[in-house]
Amino acid sequence: MSLADDLTGKGIDEPVNKGSIDLTPDGATVNNVVVDSPIFDDWTPVFELFKLDAAVFEVVDDTVRCSTWQQSARTADGDRDIVQLYSYSARFRRVTRDVIPQATVDAWRTALIQDRPTGPESEVAPAGDAGTYLMLVADPQLGKKGTEEAVENWKRGVRAHLEAAKSLGDQITHIHIAFMGDETENVVNSYGNQPHTIELNRSQQLELDFDMRVWTFKEAAKLNKKLSASSVWSNHGLWTRNGGKDPVTTHSDNASTHIARQTKKLFDELAPFGGPQIDWTIGDVSPGVQIELSGVECYFSHGYIEKGRGGSSELRTKSAIERQILGKTEELGTTSLWLMAHYHHYYSQEFEGRTLFGCPALEAEKSSEYMLDQYGVWSPPGMLGMVVTDSVDRGWAHLNVF
């Protein structure tokens, strides 16, 4: 039913023009579309008239034109009444942030079903069980200068850690893969000249991140261990920033956790066909996620929101953790392992029975030119991994950076 028919059915004597919409690959232009209630932020009533999904579009600021008038209508009892109508014209851009090309998903689904990597039903290792091998994927920043090297760093780290886990035999019953943020570089507003330094556009970055995560689980499934995974927000994962700082929407509207959800969706669909089952923890309402691995309480965060005081990034992060514990003692007071990224180098600190680990970056060596040029500092790329188990006093053992 058209809007004109609908309004006529409500007793409006003269049908009104439904208006039109012009679609392009980049967006849409709405021309004089009439609705019977004002539009504030939700354009769903307009797009529903053309059987389109409003979530795919966002309005371009300063392009909205609106007019309104009253029109005679007949009530149910035959009396006359007045109805207010509204006509809108506006331009819209397509929102591409939630789109992983279907061809990419289909190709991985086909490959994984054919290979049929199998494993036991996944669950996080309970206390008293053998250990969990923890692998931390941090700061590859795919799409920035040196992307090819970053991909090789990621692959080298995964293969080396899986080989280390395999060598431990039955000491390892679970593998946990923690995605620590900044998996992609983004394309604008992280710093001034970012659009001029990237090698991949946003779509290409997201697709490569998706491919690498799927590949990682495909490799991990070959060990026939129980699998779990986590993913957290990150600063380069913010879709768009206002003034180079705050996100336009929310911190949780983030590329890092979005690609995690897409990867989860793929493996959930593959599970009935014999694919590996993965137990996921994906950050939603806060920057960090808490998970118990083999009886050890762990906290994972990218580390860009937690800010404390001190003369170095390590001391500031430690100070931030102590403040977090004071403010959330019931939630965090017994957490013994704290895993952070963001600062692109490996470090560790022990304090009051806790251990803080900072992850090295997987980005290409010396590709953070700002830090190199301004401070002369750089760290070799690598992937941190370790065994987490409550069978040792500190809760961790067999630490490696590959």
Q: What are the CA-CA distances from residue 239 to residues 42, 324, 393 (Å)? A: 20, 26, 41
Q: What's 361's DSSP letter? A: P
Q: What's 273's DSSP letter? A: G
Beta bridge partners of 298: 291, 337
**Which residue, among 402, 371, 358, has the nearest Cα to 153 in the 3D structure?**
402
Distance CA 201, CA 203 (A): 6
pLDDT, tens digit (0-9, with 9 covering 90-100), for 161-197: 999 999 999 999 999 999 999 999 998 877 778 888 8
pLDDT, tens digit (0-9, with 9 covering 90-100), for 76-98: 666 767 888 999 999 998 875 54
What is the pLDDT, as a whole number, of residue 10?
Answer: 47
Check: CB of residue 32 under 8 Å from CB of residue 60.
no
The SS3 of residue 374 is helix
What percentage of the chain exceeds 90 in pLDDT?
53
* Res 283 pLDDT > 90: yes
Structural Rg of the chain based on CA atoms: 26
Check: CB of residue 164 under 8 Å from CB of residue 387.
no
Helix (H) or strand (E) holding 161: helix 147-167
* Res 398 pLDDT > 60: yes
What is the pLDDT, as a whole number, of residue 188?
Answer: 82
Check: CB of residue 331 under 8 Å from CB of residue 286.
no
What is the pLDDT, as a whole number, of residue 61?
Answer: 80
Copy the structure tokens of residue 16.
């009104």
What is the pLDDT, as a whole number, of residue 13?
Answer: 46
Check: CB of residue 18 under 8 Å from CB of residue 3.
yes
Beta bridge partners of 19: none
**Segment 268-282 mean pLDDT:** 93
